[in-house]
């Protein structure tokens, strides 16, 4: 089958509807959600909406399966997960097309999301899970054994549906836990299809995927048999997850919003870095937590860089993700579309704002926002202080490194940051002062599967990736052995 158009994918879904994966079985629901194609603003498919009974069945299945899964060897789990990565790669075209239909990003990037997920999976399961020896000499040997927690409830977002769901599955299953995963109700199609593809990869109950809305997420946060929640989403929702989980003292990994600052020093090569800055700010139409959201540029470079960025943005093709010419797709859902438009209205009303390019929603069907570059604003405005999560970037001027660091850190966000400079030693000195979970030099966006990723301040709790990320899905136990 060719996955080259929305019509082809919709026809396929009409003939092969997606279902939940519960205890190794594919099941539907009496209730369904209409899934909207953001490129048209129209319903493109139906997705099953799990009842509370189905959700509870998924949790019970995970509880039953988890002990036997935990008793398998690390190598056994690694082999199963490697097979899961193969399934991802083999079905990258189909899953990528589903992402383009429901999320809006260009088809090539949708396939890239699947392939990247498979690559990260294989890298994570190559990490050794060994006991940690703290003291090997003297009258007593001390080591730490890491045990699985039990059942992990995973809640994935709509901006990168598979790319952010697969690491949750990988971390939980590799460390011996079972999983109940809930995709976003805006983008459940590719994730539910992934459950169907994984049906025979894992023993029944080890991986369960159920569709549904906020009510299922709330039930997950309060269920006594779920030991840990892994959530990616907004800060307000993360706080609600944390509060709901508190009575059972659930372990948490919360990867929340970002309002990442990038600092361009006086010695940066402006012409060279403009394409990189644009890509890091407008990736997925700005709908990436770790994208650049605030661009601080030294006053000596500000006007030149702003002009070049605006020229670059003006050439970018915005459109339907199935059109091979498209470089940026729509905002994913109507609520977010309206939120971005509200920010733009505030920008247009501000006396100091200078819209260098874009600044408007596109007329007609779909949730399209023009790539927008704004100069003249400062802290105290929504575009600078909050996470817009759309294709709108403010450029701010600074006079000294100390000023740039102070302003970048003056935020309750702390997911990522970057420094752009020809002087690597000076850039590193600045990077060490930035309060963020990840700080890049001369690049921005991207995770290394061997390096812990998480947020500082309100941008999150806990980590994924690296040994530290895996251990966040396990319970340490110190063992004292007389020698």
Instruction: Tell me how far apart the 2 most distant CA atoms of the chain are, in Å.
Output: 76
**Helices of type H across 432-477:** 466-471
Q: Are residues 405 and 444 in the same domain?
A: yes
Q: Which two tokens stand for residue 39?
A: 């490129």
Q: Which tens digits make up the pLDDT trace of 43-96?
A: 999 999 999 999 999 999 999 999 999 999 999 999 999 999 999 999 999 999
Which residue out of 289, 299, 422, 428 is catalytically annotated? 289
pLDDT of 311 over the 60 cut: yes
Q: What is the pLDDT of residue 4?
A: 85
DSSP string, 251-302: EEEEE----EEEEE-TT--HHHHHHHHHHHHHGGGG--TTSEEEEEEETTTH
CA 234 distance to own-chain centroid: 11
356-403 pLDDT, tens digit per residue, is 999 999 999 999 999 999 999 999 999 999 999 999 999 999 999 999
**What does DSSP assign to residue 459?**
G
Q: Which long-range contacts (CB under 8 A, 24 or more apart) does 401-405 make?
A: 401/263, 401/265, 401/426, 401/430, 404/263, 404/265, 404/296, 404/298, 404/430, 405/263, 405/430, 405/433, 405/434
CA angle 56, 256, 350 (to 5 degrees): 130
Cα 196 from Cα 76, distance rounded (Å): 21
Q: Are residues 235 and 335 in the same domain?
A: no
Yes or no: say if 120 and 447 are a contact pair by the CB < 8 Å rule: yes
Please check whether residue 390 lies inside any domain of the structure. yes
366 and 272 within one domain = yes
Report which DSSP code applies to 200. Answer: T
Q: Is 411 helix (H, G, I), strand (E, B) or coil?
A: coil
Q: Judge whether 255 counts as a catalytic residue.
A: yes
Same domain, 107 and 11: yes
- 236 and 295, same structural domain? no
Cα distance between residue 25 and residue 88, in whole Å: 19
Q: Where are the beta strands (DSSP E) in 49-201?
A: 132-135, 140-148, 151-155, 178-182
Structure pTM?
A: 0.97
Tokens of 54: 């189905």
The β-bridge relationship of strands 292-298 and 354-357 is: unpaired
Cα separation, 159 vs 288, whole angstroms: 7
Query: Do 125 and 143 reside in the same domain of the chain?
Result: yes
Do 188 and 285 have their domain in common? no
Q: Domain total for the chain?
A: 2
- pLDDT(269) > 80: yes
Q: Are residues 294 and 332 in the same domain?
A: yes
364 phi-psi bin (left φ>0, alpha ψ -120 to 50, beta other): left
| Exposure b/e, 117-140, CB count within 10 A at least 16 = b | bbebbbebbebebeeeeeeeeeee
Is the domain of 333 the same as that of 417? Answer: yes
End-to-end CA distance of the chain, in Å? 65
Question: Of these residues, 255, 299, 387, 403, which one is catalytic?
Answer: 255
Cβ-based neighbour number of residue 436 at 10 Å? 24
Which CATH number goes with the domain that contains 144?
A: 3.40.605.10
Q: What percent of the chain has pLDDT over 70?
A: 100
% of residues, the chain, pLDDT over 90: 98
Parallel, antiparallel or unpaired: strands 372-375 and 392-398 = parallel
453 belongs to a structural domain? no
Bridge partners for 79 per DSSP: none
Picking from 448, 112, 106, 445, the residue whose alpha carbon sits closest to that of residue 280 is 445
* Cβ atoms of residues 178 and 66 within 8 Å: yes
| Mean local confidence (pLDDT), 317-322 | 98
Q: What is the pLDDT of residues 155-205, one digit of tens each?
A: 999 999 999 999 999 999 999 999 999 999 999 999 999 999 999 999 999
What does the pLDDT look like over 32-45, one tens digit per residue?
999 999 999 999 99
- Supply the mean pLDDT for the chain: 97
Query: Above 70 in pLDDT, residue 1?
Result: no
Indicate whether 13 and 50 sit together in one domain: yes
470 and 393 together in one domain: no
**Active-site residue, 289 included:** yes
Q: How far apart are CA 366 and CA 212, in angstroms?
A: 24
For 35, the enclosing helix (H) or strand (E) is strand 32-37
Backbone φ, ψ for residue 217 (5° rounding): -60, -40
231 in a structural domain: yes
Q: What is the pLDDT of residue 298?
A: 98
Query: Strand, coil or helix: what is 21?
Result: strand
Within a domain: 1: no
Res 292: pLDDT: 98
**Same domain? 272 vs 314:** yes
For residue 280, is it within any domain? yes
| 384 occurs within a structural domain | yes
| 332 found inside a domain | yes
Q: The domain that contains 269 carries what CATH number?
A: 3.40.309.10
Q: What is the band of 2 on the pLDDT scale with cuts at 50, 70, 90?
A: confident
For residue 242, report the phi and psi dihedrals to the nearest 5 degrees. Answer: -65, -45
3-state class of 370 per DSSP?
A: coil
For residue 182, the enclosing domain spans 6-256+458-482
Which residues neighbour 419 within 8 Å (Cβ) at sequence distance 6 or greater? 262, 263, 265, 427, 428, 430, 431, 434, 439, 440, 441, 442
Closest CA to 387 of 229, 264, 233: 233
């Amino acid at each position: 089958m060719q996955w080259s158009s929305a019509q082809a994918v919709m026809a396929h879904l009409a003939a092969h509807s997606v279902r939940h994966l519960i205890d190794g079985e594919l099941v539907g629901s009496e209730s369904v959600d209409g899934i909207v194609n953001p490129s048209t603003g129209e319903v493109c498919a139906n997705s099953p909406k799990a009842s509370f009974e189905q959700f509870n069945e998924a949790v019970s299945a995970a509880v039953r399966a988890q002990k036997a899964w935990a008793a398998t060897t690390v190598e056994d789990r690694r082999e199963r997960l490697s097979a899961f990565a193969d399934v991802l790669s083999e079905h990258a075209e189909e899953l990528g097309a589903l992402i383009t239909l429901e999320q809006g990003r260009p088809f090539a990037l949708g396939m890239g999301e699947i392939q990247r997920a498979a690559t990260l999976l294989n890298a994570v399961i190559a990490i050794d899970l060994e006991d940690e020896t703290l003291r090997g000499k003297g009258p007593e040997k001390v080591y730490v054994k890491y045990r699985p927690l039990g059942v992990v409830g995973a809640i994935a977002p709509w901006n990168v549906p598979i790319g952010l769901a697969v690491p949750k599955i990988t971390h939980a299953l590799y460390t011996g836990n079972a999983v109940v995963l809930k995709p976003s109700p805006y983008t459940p199609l590719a994730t539910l299809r992934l459950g169907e593809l994984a049906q025979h990869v894992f023993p029944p109950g080890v991986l369960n995927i159920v569709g549904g809305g906020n009510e299922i997420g709330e039930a997950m946060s309060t269920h006594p048999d779920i030991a840990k929640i892994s959530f990616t989403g907004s800060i307000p929702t993360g706080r609600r997850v944390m509060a709901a989980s508190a009575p059972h003292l659930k372990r948490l990994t919360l990867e929340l919003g970002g309002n990442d600052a990038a600092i361009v020093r006086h010695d940066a090569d402006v012409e060279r870095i403009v394409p990189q800055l644009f890509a890091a700010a407008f990736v997925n139409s700005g709908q990436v937590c770790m994208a650049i959201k605030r661009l601080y540029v030294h006053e000596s470079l500000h006007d030149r860089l702003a002009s070049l960025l605006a020229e670059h943005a003006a050439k970018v093709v915005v459109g339907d993700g199935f059109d091979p010419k498209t470089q940026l797709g729509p905002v994913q859902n109507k609520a977010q579309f309206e939120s971005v438009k509200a920010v733009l209205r505030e920008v247009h009303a501000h006396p100091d704002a200078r819209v260098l390019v874009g600044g408007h929603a596109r007329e007609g069907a779909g949730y399209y926002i023009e790539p927008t570059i704004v100069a003249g604003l400062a802290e105290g405005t929504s575009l600078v202080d909050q996470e817009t999560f759309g294709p709108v970037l403010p450029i701010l001027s600074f006079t000294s490194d100390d000023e740039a660091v102070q302003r970048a850190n003056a935020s309750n966000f702390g997911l990522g940051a970057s420094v752009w400079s020809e002087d690597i030693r000076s850039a590193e000195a600045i990077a060490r002062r930035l309060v963020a979970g990840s700080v890049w030099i001369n690049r921005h966006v991207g995770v290394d599967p061997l390096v812990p990723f998480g947020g500082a301040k309100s941008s999150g709790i806990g980590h994924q990736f690296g040994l530290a990320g895996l251990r966040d899905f396990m319970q340490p136990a110190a063992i004292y052995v007389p020698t």
